[in-house]
Amino acid sequence: MADLKAMKQQFLEYIEIEKGRSVKTVENYDRYLTRFLDHTKVKTAENVTESMVREFRLWLNRQPGVSGDMKRKTQNYYMIALRAFLKYMRRNNVKSLDPERIELAKVGARDLDLITAAELDRLLNGPNGTTTQSLRDKAILELFFSTGLRVSELCSLSRDLDLSRDEFSVRGKGDKVRVVFLSSSAKDAIRAYEKKRTDLSDALFVNVSKINATNKNDRLTSRSIERIVKGYAVKAGITRKVTPHVIRHSFATDLLENGADLRSVQALLGHANIATTQVYTHVTDKHLREVHQKFHGKRRA
């Protein structure tokens, strides 16, 4: 009989090494599966049942703190992890619950957190000083909007960017490499920031309040960059929550509004599945409405 705790460890190693999942994803899957095992007290793969999963979902649903679609999304994270675990066991000829028996909860259409073009301009123009910190922050914001990078991808950048070119490669989710493109304003901002730097760190974006000529390990974290973006959003008078991902949304909608097709935006964002990019169809829908108004029914006028 297959011990579930041992199988779980093998599964986590498999998704990290073989599937190239990020450390954060592995940590999340570990947390979801551990909570399932602790709650159900199930020890062996053969004893996982559909009713056990249903009872666990009911328990999750009754947890305080979140409600509505968000609660269903949270439950789905657990179910996706459990389903992936069951599929892994099936591939390894371990008898357990059929992963196809686990269905995800229906959730409403995802609402995009968007800011207006005017708000985006105010945000990008927020850092306007000549200090290393201000120049760094300007480079961060311009690079986000130029490339649509995820915050983790931006954090991992090194100083060896070739600014004589308009593009560079980045390694994103699932260890997949894609090409992103630099605007002239992003290149200018990075050059100005780099010119001001006096340290020897290999990281492109560093904590300038702590860095010195000998400190080579002070790369900004995702959380630090999120705080920087939030600070400039407040300074710009934007009342809604602004994160690096909101700028990524602005990057995608800007492309679509100016005529880019969904497949190209998918490639630029590094989405593995076009369905993920289709969250932006509200933009293409607007374009279709304009096409309909311009070209439909003219013979009846």
- Report the candidate in 92, 272, 141, 189 with the shortest Cα–Cα distance to residue 84: 92
Please write the tens of the pLDDT for every residue from 89-141. 999 999 999 999 998 877 655 556 788 889 999 999 999 999 999 999 999 99
Helix (DSSP H) and strand (DSSP E) numbers for the chain:
13, 2
Given 173, 178, 216, 282, the catalytic residue: 173
> Any catalytic annotation for residue 271?
yes
Which of 101, 129, 162 lies at the terminal end of a domain, its last residue? Answer: 101
Same-domain pairing of 121 and 252: yes
Note down the domain range covering 38.
4-101
63 has pLDDT over 70: yes
Same-domain pairing of 51 and 172: no
3-state secondary structure of 137: helix
Given 21, 72, 138, 248, the catalytic residue: 248
Same-domain pairing of 78 and 176: no
> Any catalytic annotation for residue 173?
yes
Cβ-contact 60, 11 below 8 angstroms? no
In-domain check, residue 174: yes
> Any catalytic annotation for residue 136?
no
Given 72, 150, 219, 249, the catalytic residue: 150
Cβ-contact 266, 274 below 8 angstroms? yes
Element (H, E) at 59: helix 50-61
Same-domain pairing of 168 and 284: yes
Which tops the pLDDT comparison, 173 or 217? 173
In-domain check, residue 111: no
How many structural domains does the chain have? Answer: 2
Same-domain pairing of 258 and 160: yes
> Any catalytic annotation for residue 171?
no
Termini Cα distance of the chain: 75
Given 178, 230, 245, 282, the catalytic residue: 245
Same-domain pairing of 263 and 126: yes
> Any catalytic annotation for residue 248?
yes
Same-domain pairing of 167 and 36: no
Which tops the pLDDT comparison, 24 or 191? 191
In-domain check, residue 56: yes
pLDDT at 154: 95
- Sorting pLDDT into bands at 50, 70 and 90, what band is 223? very high
Please write the tens of the pLDDT for every residue from 148-162. 999 999 999 999 899
Same-domain pairing of 124 and 264: yes
Same-domain pairing of 199 and 243: yes
Given 57, 72, 138, 271, the catalytic residue: 271
Region of 191 (left: φ > 0; alpha: ψ -120 to 50; beta: rest) is alpha
> Any catalytic annotation for residue 280?
yes
